Structure 1
């Protein structure tokens, strides 16, 4: 093992500048091993992982049952092309159809969330014959041209010449309004875009049910029903991006199910492969009919990824991870809210299930971005990995493997409470 410093040197030498500074810590560890909810560095330090590789490792790191399924498939057939007949992909599509919301049952497999969202937007154009889209402020949908165009977080918009076919509406965050009023303002903003651009030009609206990178922005439970009604009236499709929220994270298989809405198209990735690259965009029979020209993803739905994903879905079901995420999420959220009542730096605690965020602000109301970094560093030194997100990078992100325990949560809260005391004392 070469150690953290040597890794950083090689990143500087061989990777693009965009990749060189992408680590949370001033003193980042070299992670060398994972075991369910735990990570280990090259010095054999143990960490409880409360970020899960950004909502990827829902079933835990190196989960033996899932790894075994991957290895067994590797021993027999790794790859051909979907132009040849193999069984794992169609078995995965069949199984996925049993857990997708409502009448969604057709899947197109690819490798990344960006690719899935790009495909979903293409499908919406093909089905509607319309060209434009609505996206929400604070959203993140990918790194391809069209998905980056639909991304409203400045740090992820690397291209200065993006598509003009995307129109951004307000999301539910408004400093002057409560959440319900802000949500109503968001819907009015969407209606204004429809009226201005013309419903005959807009193919779809794309949204995350909970905006992860945007700061765990969580709409009220009535929001998506009202939104779907507006879109249906104007014959505009609803694309729900479940890349970060899917597969039991919020206590439901898909986060949109918390809102009792069936989207027209749904995209999935990340946790479907539990570390193995796989994604999909999924829809109903009627919309799927629009995609008729030959298309394929060379590695999408390959036998190994498909076998892994089937094992993931089996593990979620057999171990009741939806129920576990719901129950542990209530416990974790309650304890974070207790910390909010104690520490003024915590402005808000939000999210559903085990997708939770704690927004940190200074006394003057500005984002506590520097303090967030200090807190992450101190927690890391205590053996706890926590994420961060939000436009100001001031939201502590709690998105752990769904196999964590109540004891893990208690360890997190005890240490976070102590770290917050230390940081606030330093600020004073």
Structure 2
């Protein structure tokens, strides 16, 4: 699967449709990706996937960022085979093994020394959401407090506590009894600043407001057990926080003795141009959440935290599947390869190439309001130019156009996902091994898809359709 040329694809194909019909019949109504990405994958390699009808696609979803080296990378397959051939126990609960010890050593060595030297690690259930749940318990136990701080636009998982900390309302409104005492704060969303300011004034106002309520004895918020923060909001629409704002938040939380939890479940292992996104600002968190890429494509989730917080009792956070030995072996291989091949630096170079192409396309259309994101974590926010612009000149969000562009990309062999408010942001999460030539081809397909989507929606009253 090394050669690729853009092609028109009929979706879903005849064979794929048989699988999709059975999936629809048997699987839960809560299934998500097949609704907008209606394919049945037969094989995958690197950035490519092939469906059961023989159609070939660029995969710029990559397991929602899990597949940092793409599908079936040779070093990952080799690591898994070596672990299998060694007669390693596949299931160990939280008992240690040489592979587990090696994984911890490699992971700690990859962290800033001032964090690693006082760090402890908790292996969680095999999802990022369980790492969030563990972090909530950790900081509440250590501080004896009950309230938590999160941010508008945040995403931290779909379990009870994690969903309580998540900004998106769609999955919350139908669920009664979520975790109480969660307070949401303004995130510095440059394109749609919550204070209608933008730029330095916007993020300074955000940090000033946050400090004000945390020092106000009548703010209504009892002293928090912790604050959870994404350096780049992923599912929230690829919204990067300014480094200065991140440093201010770290100062405020330090001075107010509030443990800062940094959620790097999607940004970790080089995607943003640093191995960890918090390194851009130079801060040191109290708690770090990692999953997705750290397992080398297999389920793995950990919490790394300052030893001063290690006050919970044995068994305070447990789980049967904390000892995924194959994931640890694959994770070691991915981390070493990422460092040896300087994939974080490559993410900067190729991310710049991607955003440059996208901004060129943006200059030729009126529906692309914003192109943003660090490294190979890029978002394109779609807008309706027929709607009324706000005071800063931003047009309303355009989820219909986003869905149409996604569908047109699929027809041309490009898998992308949506995110952000009203699912109006198209997200690019290609594997870090993507080449310059592949970036060029991906953007060629995207440009054609944008033109096709605009043509198809041209006859509609978009203001009426989008409620703008």
TM-score normalised per structure 2: 0.86
Distance 1:352 1:341, change over 3 A: same
Corresponding residue number in structure 2 for 1:44: 54
Deviations 1:271-303 (A, max 9, x none): 111320001000123223x23423543221332
How far, CA to CA, are the matches of 1:161 and 1:192 in structure 2? 29
Please, which of 143, 162, 168 is the counterpart of residue 153 of structure 1?
Answer: 168
Corresponding residue number in structure 1 for 2:145: 130
Deviations 1:45-77 (A, max 9, x none): 111111212111001101121112112223412
Please, which of 177, 186, 206 is the counterpart of residue 186 of structure 1?
Answer: 206
Please, which of 253, 260, 265 is the counterpart of residue 231 of structure 1?
Answer: 253
Post-superposition offset of 1:14: 2.6
Instruction: Give the 3-state SS of the residue equivalent to 1:108 in structure 2.
Output: strand
Matches within 5 A, 1:87-106: 87-101=98-112, 102-104=114-116, 105-106=119-120
Corresponding residue number in structure 2 for 1:211: 233
CA contact (8 A) 1:80 1:302 kept: yes
CA contact (8 A) 1:179 1:219 kept: no
Instruction: Give the 3-state SS of the residue equivalent to 2:122 in structure 1.
Output: strand
Distance 1:108 1:2, change over 3 A: farther
Instruction: Give the 3-state SS of the residue equivalent to 2:170 in structure 1.
Output: helix
Please, which of 59, 70, 81 is the counterpart of residue 71 of structure 1?
Answer: 81
How far, CA to CA, are the matches of 1:108 and 1:126 in structure 2? 15
Please, which of 344, 361, 371 is the counterpart of residue 349 of structure 1?
Answer: 371
Post-superposition offset of 1:199: 7.7
Please, which of 362, 371, 377 is the counterpart of residue 384 of structure 2?
Answer: 362
RMSD (Å) for aligned C-alpha atoms? 2.0
How far, CA to CA, are the matches of 2:54 and 2:340 in structure 1? 32
Please, which of 40, 43, 54 is the counterpart of residue 33 of structure 1?
Answer: 43
Instruction: Give the 3-state SS of the residue equivalent to 1:106 in structure 2.
Output: strand
Post-superposition offset of 1:11: 2.9
Corresponding residue number in structure 2 for 1:413: 443
Matches within 5 A, 1:297-336: 297-336=319-358
Corresponding residue number in structure 2 for 1:7: 19
Deviations 1:315-358 (A, max 9, x none): 21222211111111111112212222221211111110000101
Post-superposition offset of 1:388: 1.1
How far, CA to CA, are the matches of 2:167 and 2:360 in structure 1? 32
- 4+ residue runs over 6 A deviation: none
Post-superposition offset of 1:237: 1.0
CA contact (8 A) 2:243 2:280 kept: yes
Corresponding residue number in structure 2 for 1:222: 244
How far, CA to CA, are the matches of 1:185 and 1:155 in structure 2? 28
CA contact (8 A) 2:76 2:330 kept: yes
Post-superposition offset of 1:201: 2.4
Corresponding residue number in structure 1 for 2:7: none
Post-superposition offset of 1:243: 0.5
Q: Which runs of 5+ in 2 are unaligned?
A: 1-12, 388-394, 459-468
CA contact (8 A) 1:93 1:106 kept: no
Corresponding residue number in structure 2 for 1:293: 314
Matches within 5 A, 1:137-286: 137-157=152-172, 159-173=175-189, 174=193, 176-194=196-214, 195=216, 196=218, 201-286=223-308
How far, CA to CA, are the matches of 2:62 and 2:24 in structure 1? 26
CA contact (8 A) 2:68 2:431 kept: yes
